[in-house]
Amino acid sequence: MKLFRWKAVVPLVLVLAVLVIGWTLFADHLLRKGIEAGGTAAVGAEVDLASARIHLLRGNVTLRGLQVTNPDSPMTNLVQLDEIVAQIALKPLLEKKVVVDTVAIRGVRFNTPRKRSGAIPHPAPAPSRASQNALQWAQSVRIPGLDLSGLGQVQQIINVRPDSLQSLREARALAARADSTKTDFEAELRSADPSPVADSAQALAARLRGQTPRSLGVQGTRDAIASVQRVLGQVRSSRDRLNGLKSRVDTGVAALRAGAATMDRARQADYAYAQQLVRIPSLSAPDISMALFGKLAVAKVKPVLYWLNLAEQYIPPGMRPQPNPGPERARMAGVTVTFPKAHTWPTFLLRHADASLTLGGEGAAAGDYGAWIEGVTTQPAVYGGPLRFAAQRTAAAKGPRQLRVAGLVDRSKPSPHDSVDALVSGVAFPAADIDVAGARLEFPDNTVNFALDRRGDGLSGLLHITAPSVHWVRMSGDTAAAASAPLGSKAWVEGLAWRAVSSVKDLDLSIRFSGRPDAPALDVTSNVGAAVSSALTREVGAEVQRVQARARAKVDSLVNQQVAAARAKLTAVQTDIQGRVAAQQQRLQDAQAELERKLQDLGQVVPGVRLPGIPRLKP
Amino acid sequence: MIFLKLLQSIISTLNSEGTPRQTAAGFALGAALGLTPLVNVHNLLVFAAACLLNVSFGGFLLGWTVFVPVGFALDPLFHAVGLALLQAPALTGFWTALYNTPGVPLTNFNNSVVLGSFVSWVVLWLPIFFLSKWLVTKYRAHVYERLKKMKFFQALSASKLFNYYRMFRPRVP
């Protein structure tokens, strides 16, 4: 029986030829459908492509008539591109990797009308992790109010519940830690007790005091030197153990000191809590700025966190295998794992793209733009370099006078580094409602500086907005009613805040965010906040200070005893354990010095002359 | 028509075409197409092997048909097997080398279901072969004698469509 059926070769070749012809006929169609389906899933609204053409031998892909629907406005395109020509490297395709050498984009238009709605039947997929994280952060930011109604209730007893005080909890924890640290170190000190070694060293030194090589003789000197060296070895070993213990004690005491600092910060938080109970806000300029512009600041920083989270999700650092959902098919999709390797092609790489475009029309975006981007990849660690981009407006028809942005996203190393710098001048922001002042801020001509720097788990950013001639519009209340309103009432606060803010003509607002990238702390300062702060301080500063002092005194009366006890225990650890360790160290050091001197004396009959047969000295 | 042809070839295969060994070999090869997701490069190679090797093509089609529902049913198991292999720390170096070798990623080996089902097929190939060989032998000895007297069976065997199948009919010694 023959193993091969050679006559089946021709039909098999025919089948393969049919497959190749099928690919040639349908590849363009499949690419178009793939881009439309992938784009629609990513955007959450229809993405349409008029045509796609693959020239596989030339490594060239041409897409024409790309329309990306705005998910928030389905009759409008977010962006419409007439033609995209991409030059693709062929060899990486054999590894199922797409490396785009260059991209040229022609005919870019934004916000163009659509002939039909681009809404999709199920447009509300579960919010992405990035958007959920950003939303959680926005909801967690505490924006203080300007409620001064407590000024009329100063005679009331401040009802502070001890179990709500953070400093009490911290004090108890610190005391417990100090106790346990002291017990542990006392046990260690007992087990490493150097007294026997120190006693024996001192006894030996005393025995040899007044003795010379002459009085001891050769054998006696030799024995004495051996004894000294043996005891010195024990002393050095004890000192090493004691040094190790000292280092651990120092670390433990430093941790306890950090606990004490946390306790102090908790006390400040308790003061703020007590002030809240009597409805007296802080009148400091940063707190007032936060009260005035907190909502605006959160709205501006939230998209930044969203993009950072998105970069984290789609551009992961490192070289670990990455699991992703498998392709959709009749069979189970499973999980597709990519195995990155250094110095190879990443699964997707856009080496360089240049865009030069003109936006027409009468909108604020009308003008000429130039932009470039390089190193766009899904596996930055494999690519080994950062994504860099820059864009600027080269000529403006309307809208911002100046617009430039540059940045890098470096995920090629385990610790990510992102940096963005942007400047926009002449930009108009939508009017912002400043509720606590019952006012609306209109700032039509702003200069915005934005800087962001993220290194590893540390993020710092600044959004600085300056506007030369802002306009304030009173939204609620009136000046006459505010004048007759009771001290501290909402109308009174609004009236006072209105008088303060309406006198500010030039806005200077800084929004700083720093800390962990998923939950940065927000800090707002502004000249408007400073003006309101000084007005409030002038009007009710003394009264507020009196109430605040009462609130602080109430907190102090509840926590002072526990805090003092915790501090005493910390001091005990410091003075007792550290002191004992230091004393033991000193004793051993003295004994060692004396023995070394004696060793030196025994080693020579007269200076420079050694006795024969005396062992080598090891100082 | 395709269904008819398939049915005819399966009946012919089971009853008279080729030795039980050739039928079983075709059946075990066809199991690959049923057990693993169809549109993958390894299935093209399996198909080419079924055409070029002197195995029963009817057996190949029968194996494919029988194992398609089995493949669907066992997908969660294949996924678990594939994922365990892909995430095994000891194999990471091997997968990384394969993943970065030109041509290999086109096989989609790095998909848990593809790898799990392919490995399962490789492991099951011999058991499927021996089991199907035993079953074909038993069938021909006991069931065929009764079946060939049925009119439907005789009509199907006489159909001209049967001729198309002859091209891939195994060479009987």
Q: Which residues contact A430 (CB under 8 A, 6 or more apart)?
A: none
Judged against a pLDDT cut of 50, whether residue A61 lies above it is answered with: yes
A596, A619 Cβ separation under 8 angstroms: yes
| pLDDT band, residue B137 (cuts 50/70/90) | confident
Tell which residue, B64, B75, B56, B63, has the closest CA to residue B15: B56
- Residues on chain A touching B116 (C-beta within 8 angstroms): 334
Q: Which residue has the higher pLDDT, A616 or A138?
A: A138
- The DSSP code sequence of B111-154 is BHHHHHHHHHHHHHHHHHHHHHHHHHHHHHHHTHHHHTTSHHHH
Report the complex ipTM: 0.78
User: Which tens digits make up the pLDDT trace of A322-348?
Assistant: 788 888 888 899 999 988 888 888 888
The residue ranges of every structural domain in chain A are 12-119, 129-156+278-316+411-549, 339-396
Contact A11 B167 (CB under 8 A): yes
Burial of A126 (0-12, 13-18, 19+ CB in 10 A): exposed
- The DSSP code sequence of A396-455 is ESSS-SEEEEEEEEE-SSSS-EEEEEEEEEEEPPPPEEEGGGTEEEE--SEEEEEEEEEE
Contact B48 A12 (CB under 8 A): yes
Q: In this structure, which amino acid lies at residue A496?
A: L
pLDDT value at residue A158: 64
Chain A residue with minimum CA distance to B170: A5
Burial of A80 (0-12, 13-18, 19+ CB in 10 A): buried
The C-alpha atoms of residue A201 and residue A234 are separated, in whole angstroms, by 9
B106 SS3 class: helix
Provide the β-strand partners of residue A421.
A406, A451
B105, A345 Cβ separation under 8 angstroms: no
Query: Helix A579-602 vs helix A166-191: angle between axes, to the nearest 10 degrees?
Result: 30
| pLDDT band, residue A619 (cuts 50/70/90) | very low
Of A332, A334, A339, the CB nearest to B96: A339
Chain A residue with minimum CA distance to B89: A321
Instruction: List, as ranges, residues 25-84 from B with C-beta within 8 Å of A.
Output: 37, 39, 47-48, 51-54, 71-72, 75-76, 78-79, 82-83
Please check whether residue B1 touches A, CB under 8 A.
no
A414, A317 Cβ separation under 8 angstroms: yes
Shortest alpha-carbon distance between residue A98 and chain B (Å): 13
**Residue A25 Cα distances to A63, A84, A130, A329, angstroms:** 17, 21, 40, 22
User: Which tens digits make up the pLDDT trace of B48-57?
Assistant: 888 888 888 8
Tell which residue, A472, A476, A482, has the closest CA to residue A504: A472
A259 SS3 class: helix
Q: Which residue has the higher pLDDT, B148 or A126?
A: B148
Judged against a pLDDT cut of 50, whether residue B168 lies above it is answered with: no
Judged against a pLDDT cut of 60, whether residue B11 lies above it is answered with: no
Of B54, B100, B106, the CB nearest to A2: B54
Provide the sign of the torsion angle of the four alpha carbons A538, A539, A543, A548, taken in this order.
Answer: negative
- Residues on chain A touching B73 (C-beta within 8 angstroms): none
CB neighbours of residue A13 within 10 Å: 10
User: Which tens digits make up the pLDDT trace of A484-499?
Assistant: 777 777 777 788 888 8
Shortest alpha-carbon distance between residue B80 and chain A (Å): 9
- The region of weakest confidence among A156-170, A213-227, A482-496, A513-527 is A482-496
Q: Which residues contact A419 (CB under 8 A, 6 or more apart)?
A: A407, A408, A452, A453, A454
The residue ranges of every structural domain in chain B are 2-166
Q: Are strands A402-410 and A417-427 parallel, antiparallel or unpaired?
A: antiparallel
Of B52, B72, B172, the CB nearest to A5: B52
A570, A260 Cβ separation under 8 angstroms: yes
Interface test with A, best of B75, B77, B110 (most A CBs within 10 A): B110
pLDDT value at residue B59: 86
pLDDT value at residue A449: 93
Tokens of A150: 């407590």
Chain A residue with minimum CA distance to B19: A1
The average pLDDT across A508-534 equals: 89
Token pair 């996924």 is at which residue?
Answer: B79
The C-alpha atoms of residue A594 and residue A592 are separated, in whole angstroms, by 5
The C-alpha atoms of residue B90 and residue B85 are separated, in whole angstroms, by 9
- Residues on chain A touching B113 (C-beta within 8 angstroms): 326, 331-334
Provide the β-strand partners of residue A439.
A434, A474
Interface test with B, best of A90, A97, A332, A345 (most B CBs within 10 A): A332
What are the φ/ψ torsions at residue A323 (nearest 5 degrees)?
Answer: -80, 135
- Residues on chain A touching B120 (C-beta within 8 angstroms): none
User: Which tens digits make up the pLDDT trace of A354-405?
Assistant: 877 766 556 566 677 788 889 888 888 888 888 999 988 877 656 567 788 9
Contact B95 A339 (CB under 8 A): yes
CA atoms within 13 A on the CB side of A367: 18
CA atoms within 13 A on the CB side of A45: 18
Tell which residue, A460, A463, A461, A462, has the closest CA to residue A447: A463
Q: Which residues contact A472 (CB under 8 A, 6 or more apart)?
A: A439, A440, A441, A442, A498, A501, A502, A504
pLDDT value at residue A434: 83
Interface test with A, best of B38, B112, B165 (most A CBs within 10 A): B112
Judged against a pLDDT cut of 90, whether residue A461 lies above it is answered with: yes
